[in-house]
Amino acid sequence: MSCWNANEAVLGTLMAAGGDSVIAISDELNHASIIDGIRLGRQINKQSKSKVYKHSDMENLEALLKASSDIQYKLVVTDGVFSMEGDIADLARIVELCNEHDALLIVDDSHGVGVCGPTGKGVAEHCGVHGQIDCMTGTLGKALGGAAGGYIASSRKLIELMEQKSRPQLFSNAVPSATAGAANKAIEILTRDNKRVEKLRENVHYMREGLKSRGFETMEGPSAITPIILGETSKAIAASKRLLELGVFVIGFGYPVVPEGSARLRVQISAAHETEHLDRALEAFSKL
């Protein structure tokens, strides 16, 4: 089970359980797995509803929650780190709004856990609301070792509902034991030692400053994702190809993954990178 499946499981199951009084309210730049999870929920429960709020616009989210006051089950869904932007959700304010309007908050923190927060516990820790998120989904395939698998973390009652009702969990293979063991070890290492998190932050700062000094426009954020906006899709793909020729693997993203005219390169930094690796990458960007 991947985080894609985890998002489909939690959204499909909760929207199905809400009968004719459930709505999912989603950030417009949420990951495709969240979008598809809500679409699945709408198909399972034809009476369910969904709304989209403008990216990180808390006034718009508040307005949608107020307009949904007569709906019993309100689900607010957001990425922790937005995978194409590298920015983070304002979880402190979202938690306030969900508490005020009796909504359940679901956060996909696939790009945040192991990266954000003083000890790498994710965007909730970074925003000072660790332990206040109703339901978190995530992946074992990024900071936690790079292998397969996803997870849902929530209250015992919600997890029991997932175990009994979520089809992606009931009808898919278990994570291989070797993968589960590796992920367990990664969590143990992250819990006892945050040196890797600190090194990652140093590497991200070094790379961002190096790119800026070479004239590239990067988007700010505390995550390891560093997008470089180039505009046209053809330009981003050509730049990605040229960087590979120079020995640096950077993926170019264009429409329909990102809006037309905002194609980009997405640089992701690792704690495993040494300064000489980053310098080699920056030299390639200079040539680019």
Q: Is 1 helix (H, G, I), strand (E, B) or coil?
A: coil
Give the containing element (helix H, strand E) for 84: none
Q: CA–CA separation, 240 vs 14, rounded Å? A: 40
Identify whether 55 is a catalytic site residue: no
Is 142 labeled as catalytic in the residue annotation? yes
Q: Which residue among the candidates 142, 166, 240, 273 is catalytic per the annotation?
A: 142
Instruction: Say whether pLDDT at 255 is over 80.
Output: yes
Strand extents, DSSP E, 156-247: 225-231
Which 3 state secondary structure label does DSSP give 218? strand
Q: What pTM, to 2 d.p., does this model score?
A: 0.92
Looking at 3.90.1150.10, 2.60.40.10, 2.60.40.4070, 3.40.30.10, the CATH number of the domain 195-287 comes to 3.90.1150.10
219 pLDDT tier (thresholds 50, 70, 90):
confident
The catalytically annotated residue of 111, 121, 126, 273 is 111
Which SS3 state, helix, strand or coil, does residue 61 take?
A: helix
CA 141, CA 161: separation in Å to the nearest integer? 25
Q: Judge whether 3-190 and 195-287 match in fold.
A: no
Q: For the chain, what are the domain ranges?
A: 3-190, 195-287
| Bigger pLDDT: 78 vs 186 | 78
Distance CA 199, CA 261 (A): 34
Alpha carbon 210 to chain centroid distance? 25
pLDDT for position 1: 60
Phi, psi of 173 (to 5 degrees): -70, 150
Handedness of CA 158, 156, 148, 92 (dihedral sign): positive
142 within 8 A of 111, measured Cβ to Cβ: yes
Q: What is the pLDDT of residue 247?
A: 95
pLDDT at residue number 218:
84
pLDDT at 22 > cutoff 90? yes
Asked if 221 and 81 count as a contact pair (C-beta separation under 8 A), the reply is yes
Which residue is it, tokens 């306030």? Answer: 96
Beta bridge pairs of residue 150: 139
Write out pLDDT tens, residues 151-194: 999 999 999 999 999 998 889 888 888 888 888 898 999 899 88
The CATH code for residues 3-190 is 3.40.640.10
Q: How far apart are CA 86 and CA 78, in angstroms?
A: 14
Say whether pLDDT at 32 is over 80.
yes
Torsions phi, psi for 230 (to 5 deg)? -120, -15
Are 154 and 11 within 8 A, CB to CB? no
Among residues 5, 57, 1, the alpha carbon closest in space to that of 36 is found at 5
Q: What is the DSSP letter of 101?
A: T
pLDDT band with cut points at 50, 70 and 90 for residue 259: confident
Per DSSP bridges, beta strands 263-268 and 73-79 are unpaired
Catalytic residue from among 48, 68, 83, 154? 83
